Amino acid sequence: MTTVNVPAVARHRGTLGTAVLHGVRVLGGEPTEVLVREGRIADIGATGRSGAAARRIDATGLVMLPAFVDLHTHLREPGGGDSETIASGTRAAAAGGYSDVFAMANCRPVTDSPERIAHIADTGERVGSCRVHPVGAITLDLAGRDRAPLAAMALAGARMFSDDGRCVDDAALLRAALVESARAGTVIAQHAQCGDLAREGQINAGSAAERTGLPPWPGVAEETIVARDAVLAGETGARLHVCHVSTAGTVEIVRWAKQRGWPVTAEVAPHHLLLDDTRAVGGDTVYKVNPPLRTARDVAALHQGLRDGTIDAIATDHAPHPAHRKAADWCHAPFGMIGLETALAVVAEVLGDGGEPDWALIAALMAHRPAVIGGIEATAGRPLRAGEPATFTLVDPHADWQVDAAKGESLSRNTPFAALRFRHRVVATAVHGLVTADRGSLLSTRA
């Protein structure tokens, strides 16, 4: 039994108290009963052992998964309140089944000091609907020149460092950051984009760039950085995490690094799993993202990388932008898509391939492994068993719903999945027995 202290979320819809979830399918297994008491899973298969005080919740047919962990969320606070805030972004995360998100450093001001780490953590504790883990910048002001105080930020609570949105092109600087990160027991998450090769790229090189006349963003610009950084991780023994893998070549490089026993992990975003670059050629800037949507061959390689363990985690790269900015012409519109509220639906669709998905694999990709990579496995991504915190999400596997871009908890509406239909949908989320999202008032009750 785990006895760690699990911090509560600030904003929630009530508590489960003592309750029995009837008919729920744990990790997609046979229907059973799950007893929750005092914020923990007290029993599974609890028929007759709940006591008269237990509230009965009809969860017939719903799939119970450990609540998700997102290693890659842009909450935009401070400095981007017209696109997202910590309050709105964590509401979106809870609605998507997440208990924990890692907030990327590219705010204004940049999260590049212990004080700014503390500020974001404190704000998350005050207004968050899920737990917020600040990501510290690798370089001061994301400028790629001077290393930020990684050790001091680690002492302030940072478990991951990234200049996401920009690549640390300087190999010596990146190596030094890896060494310092290793000493602190943290991880470096790299946005792989060689500036000399990507230049002002806007769309995937090849057919998409040729058909649109837009500046090409070649896959080799990603792959060369991943190969370089993997070698540095192998040489230093420091942990490297590759952000938003998008090409078949990168999958091969990560596979090669793992075969050599190097401490390299990788994530993929839901949009790169479902959409290819043919979506972008029509000029709708909702499909403009960095790295860009790639070819169908790349998408297939990402699917295989998930299934064979080369890719460790799903991470949303939730990147909200206000409508007026996305309405600009392609070259002036910002890169990015939102994805917290649709991630599970997309991943289940991809891994289900027309049938029932491997729910245990989804739990590994969206909860267990991200928690380990982010260093929060003591409190997040825990297995669903007696004695563990009641931190879970419930999924309707027969929802048959359509994404409505006008609705959602995020302040922004730049979803690439608008009007698409999905079979699976998160209907409720609980964190340590607190109900943080509840689409149909399934769990909610006020203490």
DSSP category for residue 349:
H
pTM value is: 0.96
How far is the C-alpha of 398 from the C-alpha of 416, rounded, in Å? 22
Residues 83-140 pLDDT 10s:
999 999 999 999 999 999 999 999 999 999 999 999 999 999 999 999 999 999 999 9
Run of H or E including 171: helix 171-184
Torsion angles phi and psi, residue 318, rounded to 5? -55, 115
**Of 246, 289, 248, 243, nearest to 416 (Cα)?**
289
How far is the C-alpha of 144 from the C-alpha of 9, rounded, in Å? 34
**By CB neighbour count within 10 A (0-12 exposed, 13-18 middle, 19+ buried), where does 52 fall?**
exposed
Angle at 269 between CA 86 and CA 244, to 5 degrees: 95
Longest dimension (CA), the chain: 69
Buried residues in 302-326 as b, exposed as e (16+ CB within 10 A): bbebbeeebbbbbbbbbbbbbeebb
DSSP category for residue 83:
T
Return all residues near 78 (Cβ < 8 A) that are at least 6 apart.
107, 108, 109, 119
Q: Specify the 3-state DSSP secondary structure of 153.
A: helix
What are the residue numbers of the active site? Answer: 317
How far is the C-alpha of 337 from the C-alpha of 327, rounded, in Å? 13
Angle at 190 between CA 184 and CA 194, to 5 degrees: 140
Q: Which domains does the chain have, with CATH numbers?
A: 67-357 (3.20.20.140)
**Of 73, 59, 66, nearest to 362 (Cα)?**
66
- Point out the residues of the chain with pLDDT beneath 50: 1-6, 446-447
- Compute CA distances 419 → 63, 330, 405, 415, 416, whole Å: 24, 22, 8, 10, 9
CB 35 within 8 A of CB 43: yes
How far is the C-alpha of 119 from the C-alpha of 129, rounded, in Å? 17
How does strand 55-58 pair with strand 19-26? parallel
**Of 125, 130, 127, 128, nearest to 157 (Cα)?**
125
CB 161 within 8 A of CB 187: yes
**Of 126, 129, 104, nearest to 117 (Cα)?**
104
Torsion angles phi and psi, residue 264, rounded to 5? -115, 130
At 288, which amino acid appears? Answer: K
Torsional sign, CA 51, 56, 57, 63:
positive
Residues 371-391 pLDDT 10s:
999 999 999 999 999 999 999
Adjacent-strand bridge partners of 393: 65, 429
